[in-house]
Amino acid sequence: MSDNGEMSVGSTGWWRERSDGMGVALSLEARLVHREQSPFQLIEILEHASFGHILVLDGYVQASQADEFIYHEMALHVPLLGRRRQDTSVLIVGGGDGGALAEALKHDFVTSVTMVEIDQRVIDLSAQYLGINGDYRDPRVELLVENAQGVVRSARERGETFDVIVLDLTEPVGPSAVLFTEDFLTDLVALVSPTGVIVDSDSIYLSLEGGDFLQEVSGEGENLVSVMRRTRLLPHLEVYRAKVPLYPGADFGFFLYSRDGVSLSKPVASYKGRHYDSDIHQAAFALPGWQRKWLGL
């Protein structure tokens, strides 16, 4: 959350994002370029000397012009290139900044991308200020500006499946809160194809207890990893990581959940992005000992 109500549009000051559960904060000297309350959330656009325009939703940094490519490339290319795929269908839950969509469309074997974003204003303002250029006109793309909970439930009832499902969500507040529940996850898991995977992500903190996550599921102090393990909705977990400067702690974990447990740690094809390449793909799965112990890997 943030406590930056004193900043007015056009003013420059120290903007702060508080992670209350961890007792830490991210502070940025930035200019507030835009602020509006959409029907779903508070949207702010900051301008920073090094990071450029920054998208903030309900007080949480989502993406910046300078570092968005790290998160988006790692979130998409690892699951897409970690095993041999063809005629691949992708579901993006959230992703209004357009970055996940842009990366998915870089692969010809991706034949369809369904993106579900509740807030049209996030899409519009991201295009205006971030310029990531997810191509919503690509014939492979179906954009649904709706609540993902209803879309996923309807897809389950129709028996639809997807090969790669990316949870590109805000923190579990506001419109995203209902997506951090066991009911939603149960519906979502039903959409995973036999060789498919769900990709989730979260900041990872080192603590006296071993570690902690930023996001909480169901308001019960659990995280998605613990819920998946307790319910065994998808029994196999693989973890990789990247450094994303503007996310709390900068140590960002990606969590792959699958039915068959086939490892995605080695790329089956070559691709080179601004951050991602085959070497980075493999290296990302090299976790430090304390993380492996804490995650039970």
**Is position 183 annotated as part of the catalytic site?**
no
Residue 145, classified by CB atoms within 10 Å of its CB into exposed (0-12), middle (13-18) or buried (19+), is: middle
Q: How far is CA 234 from its chain centroid?
A: 19
Q: Can you name the residues that pair with 80 across neighbouring β-strands? A: none
- Catalytic residue, chosen from 97, 119, 163, 168, is 168
Q: Can you name the residues that pair with 16 across neighbouring β-strands? A: 27
Q: What are phi and psi of 81, to 5 degrees?
A: -105, 0
- Provide the Cα torsion 270, 100, 200, 120; round to 10°: -170
Residue 120, classified by CB atoms within 10 Å of its CB into exposed (0-12), middle (13-18) or buried (19+), is: middle
Q: Kindly state the helix (H) or strand (E) to which residue 55 belongs, with its residue range.
A: strand 52-57
Q: Which residues are catalytic?
A: 168
